[in-house]
Amino acid sequence: MKIPIGKPDVGKDEIKAVMETMKSGWVSQGEKVERFEESFAQYCGVKYGVAVSTGTAALHTALTALNIGEGDEVITTPLSCVASTNPIVYLKAKPVFVDVDPATLNIDASLIEEKITPETKAILPVHLFGHPVDFDPILEIAEEHDLPIVEDASQAHGAKYKGKKVGQFGQVSCFSFYADKMITTVEGGMALTNDAKLAEKMRLLRSFGMSKQKKFYHPLLGYNYKMSDIHAAIGVIQLPKLDKYIQKRRKNINYLKEQVESPRLKLPNEQEYAFDVYYVCHILAQKRSDRDKLVKHLEKNGIETRPLLSFIPEQPPYAKLGCDLTELTRAREAHQKGFYVSNSPLLSEEHIRYLAHALNEF
């Protein structure tokens, strides 16, 4: 049996939507994009959606709209896809890394305040692997220090914090619709906000900074981050499936947690404040050597694995920042001991039983 790391659920309805859009004569940003923006924002409980070409573009656009620039500091997590931090550096700002909570692998809110300086201009938490960040303490810190929050919810569509969907907590929240995400537009992203002026500024930024009222007049230095109607047409079809996907992902993980009893392995752990959408099944071993042996065991049995994303401060572009790694021991240890396997909603019950058996066999 083969269990690939991820496979999008793209079928006849998505293909039909793309074909209809292609035949319509309008394939670039247009009515389909507006429809997807409105429906996804409504799903998340936020007023305005700004669709862009990728999740990275969403973060870059959001930070730019908040006037983050050279010399500014943005507090964020060291354990994530590097895409959550790259836009900070694009703007010549400085990422300030805060260690993670070992229970969730999300940023540890209790360590944020000590990192705030006069140069701190934003907090960028990541809802890693679909588990929401513990937001109340972050909101308190942000309010006390008058700092905007940019949520990176790229892996957390539909996740909830104390019953409220993620995406509603920051001044801006950013999502990805890459091929393996909770829903896909193949490539794409979106920034959400309740601030009408901020939404309008992000719309300008994604389209060369060009005024809507005056063609080829550019009051802002913008980017070319538009989403096409072809991509949005897929998103329009995918969105109504999201809750079903989440139910299947939760069922998969709950089964694995019931069946896998090895004290040497730690599976995802949903906190009492959280509704976790389990983007993937991440696993922590007791020791790095156990991790390496288990990965080989799973790969030998046709189960594809991936490292626990990136410990960003050790990536070559970030090593020159000179981060104190002794302050980031939990994130570094998790990266060394962890990995993940697929939790695709396309996995059958037989797949999940096979995965449980392989883990118990180890």
pLDDT of residue 6: 84
| Tens-place pLDDT, residues 5-56 | 988 899 999 999 999 999 999 999 999 999 999 999 999 999 999 999 999 9
Name the token pair of 254: 């709950």
197 is catalytic: no
Rounded (10°) angle between helices 349-361 and 288-300: 130
Position 54 scores a pLDDT of: 98
Look at residue 78 in the predicted model and tell me its pLDDT: 98
In the three-class reduction of DSSP (H, G, I as helix; E, B as strand; rest coil), residue 263 is classed as coil
Phi/psi of residue 257, each to 5°? -65, -30
The two three-digit tokens of residue 311, written as one number: 């410990």
| Predicted local confidence at residue 139, as pLDDT | 98
H runs (alpha helix) in 54-148: 55-65, 86-90, 135-145
Give this prediction's pTM. 0.96
pLDDT value at position 261? 84
Kind of pairing between the strands at 172-176 and 274-275: unpaired
Quote the CA–CA distance of 209 and 204 in Å, as a whole number. Answer: 4
- Domains assigned to the chain: 12-240 (3.40.640.10), 242-361 (3.90.1150.10)
Looking at residue 250, its pLDDT comes to: 98
Residue 213 has what pLDDT? 86
Contacts 24+ apart (CB under 8 A), 249-258: 249/130, 249/277, 249/278, 249/279, 249/343, 249/345, 250/276, 250/277, 250/278, 252/278, 252/281, 252/343, 252/347, 252/352, 253/278, 253/281, 253/343, 255/352, 255/356, 256/281, 256/352, 256/355, 256/356, 256/359
Helices (H), the chain: 12-24, 31-44, 55-65, 86-90, 135-145, 196-206, 229-238, 242-259, 288-300, 316-319, 329-337, 349-361
Kindly give the parts of the chain with pLDDT less than 50: none
pLDDT, residue 223, reads 97
The per-residue pLDDT for range 172-203, each reduced to its tens digit, is 999 999 999 999 999 999 999 999 999 999 99
- C-alpha 203/C-alpha 195 separation (Å) is 12
CA distances from 178 to 80, 188, 247 (A): 16, 6, 20
The pLDDT assigned to 212 comes to 86
Please tell me which residue in 32, 181, 201, 337 is annotated as part of the active site.
Answer: 181
Please report where in the chains the tokens 């569509």 appear, as a residue.
157
- Please, what is the average pLDDT of the chain? 97
Under a CB-based contact definition with an 8 Å cutoff, are residues 39 and 170 in contact? no
